């Protein structure tokens, strides 16, 4: 059995969760997990239905884009995933979706502000827009990297879909669901034509500071493990 088996099993499990929940359809979207203590990721293969793949079909790819395990080509967004892990040391899992309500904001190019305590506590002060670039392109990877300094955990990819990051695969999946809650309710609130209330700045600052503390603790844990 591969030493990467637990990562492969988790990636497959949550890929199927995405399809079951309707956050992506067919072969759309992709999921990865960072391999603990290695510059490598477990990631879904490209262009394969999540309910038609086996655990051994999940790819293991190093940070130089070399396939270490897997008989199929890894996701075309593998470079983007790897660049996120390089630039956000707190992140251990990434989920890219084509979820419906977040995708509405991908089309109107509108970020989602801080609206709910629970969402902000987990995803950050804004769900910002990553500018459009062709799927799988180096430019899309760079556009994504340029947004990561805001330390948020959810992003909308213009004319494409959404990204959710997490300290764990469970955390990343929860952020997918929190993103869709925020996007859906904000969409209906905008449609009402009424004034929209946002969280007070002082509350947003406090919630984000708690998020940053969790991120810093994970970064410190990884540094200690390398010593």
pLDDT digits (tens, 9 = 90+) for 1-45: 689 999 999 999 999 988 888 888 766 789 999 999 999 999 999
**Residue 52 confidence (pLDDT) above 80:** no
Q: Looking at the domain covering 5-226, what would its CATH class be?
A: alpha beta
Detail the DSSP E strand segments found in 10-132: 30-34, 40-43, 59-62, 67-69, 93-97, 112-113, 126-130
CA distance 73 to 188: 40
Tens of pLDDT, residue by residue over 146-186, are 999 999 999 999 999 999 999 999 999 999 999 999 999 99
- Residue 120 has φ and ψ, to the nearest 5°, of -65, -40
Round the average pLDDT of the chain to a whole number and report it: 95
Tell me how far apart the alpha carbons of residues 24 and 227 are, in angstroms, rounded to a whole number: 40
Q: How confident is the model at residue 46 (pLDDT cuts 50, 70, 90)?
A: confident
Residue 27's pLDDT is what? Answer: 61
CA distance 39 to 54: 24
Compute the distance between CA of residue 164 and CA of residue 199 in angstroms, rounded to an integer: 21
The pLDDT value recorded for residue 114 is 98
Q: Identify the DSSP state of 132.
A: P
């Amino acid at each position: 059995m591969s030493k990467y088996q637990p990562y492969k099993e988790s990636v497959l499990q949550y890929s199927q969760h995405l399809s079951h929940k309707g956050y992506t359809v067919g072969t759309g979207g992709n999921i990865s997990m960072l391999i603990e203590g290695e510059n490598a990721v477990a990631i879904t293969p490209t262009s394969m239905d999540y309910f038609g793949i086996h655990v051994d079909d999940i790819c293991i790819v190093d940070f130089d884009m070399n396939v270490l395990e897997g008989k199929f080509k890894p996701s075309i967004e593998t470079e983007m995933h790897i660049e996120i892990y390089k630039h956000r040391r707190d992140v251990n899992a990434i989920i890219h979706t084509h979820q419906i309500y977040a995708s509405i904001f991908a089309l109107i190019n509108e970020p989602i502000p801080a609206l709910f305590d629970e969402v902000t506590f987990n995803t950050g002060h804004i769900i910002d827009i990553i500018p459009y670039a062709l799927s799988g392109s180096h430019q899309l990877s760079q556009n994504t990297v340029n947004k990561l300094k805001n330390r948020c955990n959810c992003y909308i990819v213009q004319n494409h879909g959404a990204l959710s990051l997490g300290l764990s695969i469970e955390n990343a999946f929860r952020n997918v669901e929190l993103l869709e809650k925020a996007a859906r309710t904000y969409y209906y609130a905008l449609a009402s034509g009424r004034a929209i209330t946002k969280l007070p700045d002082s509350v947003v600052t406090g919630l984000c500071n708690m998020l940053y503390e969790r991120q810093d603790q994970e970064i410190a844990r990884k540094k200690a493990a390398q010593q």
